[in-house]
Structure 1
Amino acid sequence: MDRKIRVAVVGASGRMGREVVKKVLAEPDMELAAGVARTSGPIDLGRMVGMEECGVLMQNDLELALVTSKPDVLVDFTGPQTAFSHTSLAIKHGVRPVMGTTGFTPEHIQELDKLCQEQGIGGLIAPNFSIGAILMMRFAAQASKYFPHLEIIEYHGDQKLDAPSGTSIKTAELISEVREEIRQGNPREEETIDGSRGGYYNGFRIHSVRLPGIFAQQEVIMAEPGQALKIRHDSYDRAAYMPGVAIAVRKVMTYTGMIYGFEHFID
């Protein structure tokens, strides 16, 4: 497009939101239109992230920000409790949502896709924007054709609200598209401590680890008699997600409808 893409960031004062603000300010084809946070005062967003003043002050009302700043895209890394309402509000005002939050049901996604189609705009819901994590999911799905016995272990900090993670659920969904359900383990096994075997998904298990000091890791362990294969991805910093966010902001301007999963943007 001839002009810069105007981007609003909700949750702009949070740890992920600050990274998104910095990324948008650094991209030559993007313009920061607004930043929204319910618990922050009217600070200049450039100063907030340690950069030069940009002339955009923090706001605390999302709908007012959408109406007054007229962004093209809304980027949201807030939380599952506000995911659906924020997405619906953005679409209502003709703003393309790029959602890094979890908490969407299949019915939510279907409804949001219909709303996007009616407005003639694109949208994206992505459990993970890390290109390395997307490749991990893709490799795991490919390998599961040959190693159908598997388990997923995901690791996050102890303040993460949802379990299992959106990334592990998306990984399980991709695996299940190419792998028939196999109920693993001894059919007579019993959990002497409830939940020891993890969450059940299509015949295999997902385990969620929550500990302080951990950022985000996931491994898919596959095994057959005499051999094992482990596919693992480690994120050490929120900056790992920003190249993917930039790709998403550009791509969401080019299509109509709601897409679920950043992997659709990776060739």
Structure 2
Amino acid sequence: MKKIIIAGPRGKMGSEAIKLVQSHEDMRLVACIDRKNNGKKLADIAELPNLDVPIYEDALECFSEIDADILIELTIPEQGYKHTKAAMEHGIRPVVGTTGFTEEQIDELSWLASERKIGCIIAPNFAIGAVLMMKFSQMAAQYFPDVDIIEKHHDNKLDAPSGTAVKTAEMIKESREYKKQGHADEKETYPGARGADYDGMRIHSVRLPGLVAHQEVIFGSPGQTLTIKHDSINRASFMEGIKLATDKVMEIQEVIYGLENVL
């Protein structure tokens, strides 16, 4: 039985994660971390399940008082990093779906994992299909060096480009020699029209109500194009990957960045 703390229970991802834990006999929700409702129970919050589970605003207090194995972190980058680091310092293994961590933060967490001999999994995207989309794109980049990434998310997303798009670009970079795309004398009438420049490839971010999480990677070469696309229709698509990560994180003593390294 894995004892679980969820950070961000009122969010759309957090509420799905609560359902995930409830639906598996090998998991038990023991506490939640929320930016308000300190001292209340989940049962006291109208939009949350009727569970006798305590809510903490202070993560350190939660980690000190609650006996837990795993933190499922689903908040925002600034708080997410603090929660992840504090959890590891208290012997709790984080499974992190919060995006926007810097390379320096991931390096620090990797050092902490090695020092404490504790596992941590950080995944920009927990949808299995999205992970496969990233892997297929990495394979294709060996043969199609011209590539644009278009990622589309709901208009409440805080980071742009998305963690999935950044991770995709990082993986493509491993297979692709640097190439600056477009005309050598290209001019942008409106700055940013060509998207963000990452290693010569372009990343475009779309933010609109009605979207959940969508990405297409478009490759081009003379006479042909190749598009690799993934759509998350709802947030249930991420739960299979979170469950996989909660199983795997109990077996490791390192930081794993990217669910493709777990599959």
TM-score, L = length of structure 1 = 0.94
Contact 1:66 1:93 in 2 (8 A): yes
Q: Where do residues 203-218 of structure 1 align in structure 2 (5 Å cutoff)?
A: 203-218=200-215
Distance in 1 between residues matched to 2:47 and 2:68, nearest whole Å: 20
What is aligned with 1:43? Answer: 41
**How far is 1:21 from its partner?**
1.0
What is aligned with 2:152? Answer: 155
Distance in 2 between residues matched to 1:48 and 1:133, nearest whole Å: 33
**How far is 1:257 from its partner?**
1.2
What is aligned with 1:226? Answer: 223
Residue ranges of structure 2 left out of the alignment (5+ in a row): none
> Residues 248, 233 of structure 1: CA spacing in aligned structure 2 closer, same or farther, 3 A cutoff?
same
Specify which of 87, 93, 97 is matched with residue 96 of structure 1. Answer: 93
> What CA deviation, in whole Å up to 9, does each residue of 1:59-80 have, x standing for no partner?
3222111121111000111011
What is aligned with 2:247? Answer: 250
Distance in 2 between residues matched to 1:261 and 1:100, nearest whole Å: 10
SS in 2 for 1:217: strand
Percent identical pairs in the alignment equals 46
SS in 2 for 1:196: coil
Residue ranges of structure 1 left out of the alignment (5+ in a row): none
What is aligned with 2:52? Answer: 55
Q: Where do residues 167-246 of structure 1 align in structure 2 (5 Å cutoff)?
A: 167-246=164-243
1:119 and 2:135 equivalent? no
> What CA deviation, in whole Å up to 9, does each residue of 1:145-169 have, x standing for no partner?
1111110000011111111000000
Number of residues paired by the alignment?
262
Contact 2:41 2:51 in 1 (8 A): no
What is aligned with 2:29? Answer: 32
Distance in 2 between residues matched to 1:50 and 1:82, nearest whole Å: 21
TM-score, L = length of structure 2 = 0.95
Contact 1:22 1:49 in 2 (8 A): no
Distance in 2 between residues matched to 1:45 and 1:128, nearest whole Å: 29
Distance in 2 between residues matched to 1:178 and 1:46, nearest whole Å: 51
What is aligned with 2:8? Answer: 11
> What CA deviation, in whole Å up to 9, does each residue of 1:216-241 have, x standing for no partner?
10000011111111000000111100
Contact 1:21 1:49 in 2 (8 A): no
**How far is 1:81 from its partner?**
1.9
SS in 2 for 1:124: strand
The root-mean-square deviation of aligned C-alpha atoms, in Å, is 1.5
Q: 1:59 is aligned with what amino acid? A: Y
Distance in 1 between residues matched to 2:169 and 2:251, nearest whole Å: 28
> Residues 48, 133 of structure 1: CA spacing in aligned structure 2 closer, same or farther, 3 A cutoff?
farther
